[in-house]
Homo-oligomer: A and B are copies of this chain.
Amino acid sequence: MASNSFGTLFRITTWGESHGKAIGVVIDGCPAGLEVSEEDIQIELARRSPGKSIYTSPRKEEDKAEILSGVFDGKTTGAPISIVIFNKDFDSSKYEPIKHLLRPGHASYTYQEKYGLFDHRGGGRASARETACRVAAGAIAKKLLKHFGIEVVAFLSQVEKEIAEVEISNLSQIKESMLKSSIFCPDAKAEIAIMEKIASVKEEGDSLGGIVVFTSNLPLGLGDPIYEKLEAKLGAAMLSIPASKGFEIGSGFSSVFMKGSCHNDIFRHEEGRVVTKTNHAGGILAGISTGMPLIGRVVFKPTSSIKKPQETLNVNKEKELLTLPEGSRHDPCVAVRAVPVVEAMAALVLADAYLLNRNAKL
């Protein structure tokens, strides 16, 4: 419990259920004097909003973020920033016929058992809708990072065997291409292939998993030793996103096939700064950023809500067939909509790391 907050010095607390009155986030610890507007947040929310294309769920959420506190005359005041998004899309009646069923891959079973009750309306607190608050908070974190010269970008990297090819050190190029793509995939070739796959699986009433990659030009020295290593905090951030099943930094799981003489990134002195020839480290050594591009990868399972009927149990533990109600709306590939969420979570971790770093030495 008390599990709805994230961060140490730049700290967010989110609240709200999918089909409740509203959802929201309180950001505590943003330094005073940062220019922030509702527009900044709206732009980010628009990106994750469903209904954007057939590749995401066709809901019309039209999320509208309102800043209720912490900003005065267009600038942060140092007081907590409260952002609220009122829920408009409210009809939960269509879920009535299946509310007695355990939904495979869903929160319903574990929530029911842990709390003794479950808000079945659209997933309640466990709904991916909660991630809109992360994106809203991430918009502020990104503004703060930008003030310090730091950019962060995430993109859809892989679905099945289709992999986006990108030049990771070219962050602005990636960002530009990613923003143009309706599935946040910066490589046009992979984009087309993935879009075809998604369209086809949607047709089948099924769903697909995917991998999201993020990168940042963060400077040398962010992150802390031992238990608050930058990769540990990024890992916790990414694995807190609904449907994520894994996280890796730099060479990640492919390290199992490498030898030390190959994996070690050789130091070079180039243009007045220390760089490494390769970047298997993914921009982090011993929990602290090296100044090389940060590279993290997050995998998302295929959306658990699918049109295909599924065998399951009802609350009396009897076998029953689950068929989602006509008109249910679900992303055929949740990894697509996860892209701005990954970007937001990375920004939250990095903003916090930046503030924490100020007391490293005298």
Contacts and interface: CB of A to CB of B under 8 A. Distances in A.
Q: Which 6 A-B residue pairings sit nearest by Cβ, starting from the closest?
A: A246-B248, A107-B286, A3-B228, A207-B260, A3-B224, A2-B29
Interface stretch (A31-39, A175-183, A185-193): A31-39
A43 interface: no
Most central of A30, A116, A313 by chain B CB within 10 Å: A116
Contact of A33 (B16, B31, B158, B361): B361
Interface residues of A, number: 153
Tell me what chain A mostly uses at the interface: helix, strand, loop, or mixed. mixed
Nearest to A79: B125
Given A113-B221, A308-B261, A69 B21 contact: yes
Q: What is the count of identical protomers in the complex?
A: 4
A11 to B, nearest CB: 4
Contacts of A126: 225, 286
A359 interface: yes
Contacts of A72: 17, 117, 119, 124
Contacts of A57: none
A126 to B, nearest CB: 5
Interface stretch (A46-54, A249-257, A336-344): A249-257
Contact of A260 (B15, B253, B303): B303
Given A33-B117, A69-B125, 11 more contacts: A13-B13, A32-B360, A33-B116, A114-B288, A114-B357, A114-B361, A209-B263, A235-B247, A242-B286, A253-B253, A260-B305
